[in-house]
């Protein structure tokens, strides 16, 4: 039983039944010293207000530097109390996230001007009712927004992707470029499309907030 709960019970016995405080403390098993104890904590309202003002003026200062500034202003307070008030006021210093550096120079790609000029390729993932996951290969014509290829299977290897692209290229012709992400799924090993798209890299897509911000464009052709 906590002291606060014991005091409430003693107060109830004294007021309800008119017993003495000593008798009530004995019934509740609460020490008399605990009953008579009163907190001597100082009022920290002014200190908390000043701490918040200094923290807002010095947003990159932690509680240790704030404690030093308060001591210089004449406040008699130790570091532990400043830390406790610092946490109570929610004045934590936010950690700056490190900016990701691109491994290659990112450039803004020009918009396609005709159909079949550039394809965008990516993978989607979903699950069946029984919980088995499957993947979907999607190829979209960036100019017409047409989806000429949509292949779903439980496993889509690089060789399978190259074969599917070869079939699509035989029907529609080779595009000038294919926009893909930088995952291992892009590592084709054989096939005309794989040979055509491994000639050179034409740059990076400008970063965005979408998952395709790490995409790259691979130039394609009939020969290197």
User: What residues pair up with 125 in beta bridges, in sequence order?
Assistant: 135
Determine the pLDDT at residue 94: 66
Instruction: Specify the pLDDT at position 206.
Output: 39
Q: Count of residues for the chain?
A: 224
Contacts (Cβ under 8 Å, ≥6 apart) of 168: 139, 148, 149
119 Cα distance to chain centroid: 30
Burial call 147-178: b when 16+ CB within 10 Å, e when fewer: eebebeeeebebeebbbbbbebbeebebbebb
pLDDT tens string for the chain (224 positions)?
Answer: 888 899 999 999 999 999 999 999 999 999 999 988 887 777 888 999 999 999 999 888 999 999 999 999 999 999 999 999 999 888 877 667 777 776 666 677 788 889 989 999 999 999 999 989 999 999 999 999 999 999 999 988 888 888 999 999 999 888 988 888 765 444 444 455 555 554 433 334 433 433 433 444 555 544 33
pLDDT for residue 210: 39
pLDDT (0 to 100) of residue 207: 39
CB neighbour class for 118 (10 Å; exposed up to 12, middle 13-18, buried from 19):
buried
């Amino acid at each position: 039983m906590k002291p606060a709960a014991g005091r409430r019970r003693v107060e109830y016995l004294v007021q309800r039944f008119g017993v003495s405080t000593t008798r009530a403390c004995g019934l509740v098993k609460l020490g008399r010293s605990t009953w008579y104890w009163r907190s001597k904590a100082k009022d920290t309202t002014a200190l908390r207000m000043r701490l918040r003002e200094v923290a807002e003026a010095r947003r990159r200062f932690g509680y240790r530097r704030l404690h030093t500034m308060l001591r210089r202003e004449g406040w008699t307070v130790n570091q532990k109390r400043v830390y406790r008030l610092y946490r109570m006021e929610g004045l934590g210093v936010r950690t700056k996230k490190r900016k990701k550096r691109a491994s290659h120079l990112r450039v803004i790609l020009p918009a396609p001007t005709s159909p079949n000029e550039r394809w965008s390729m990516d993978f989607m993932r979903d699950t069946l009712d029984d919980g088995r996951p499957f993947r979907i290969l999607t190829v979209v014509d960036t100019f017409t927004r047409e989806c000429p290829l949509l292949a779903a299977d439980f496993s889509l290897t690089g060789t399978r992707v190259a074969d599917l692209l070869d079939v699509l290229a035989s029907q529609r012709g080779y595009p000038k470029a294919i926009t893909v992400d930088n995952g291992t799924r892009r590592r084709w090993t054989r096939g005309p499309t794989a040979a055509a798209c491994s000639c050179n890299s034409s740059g990076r897509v400008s970063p965005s907030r979408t998952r395709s911000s790490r995409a790259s464009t691979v130039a394609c052709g009939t020969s290197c």
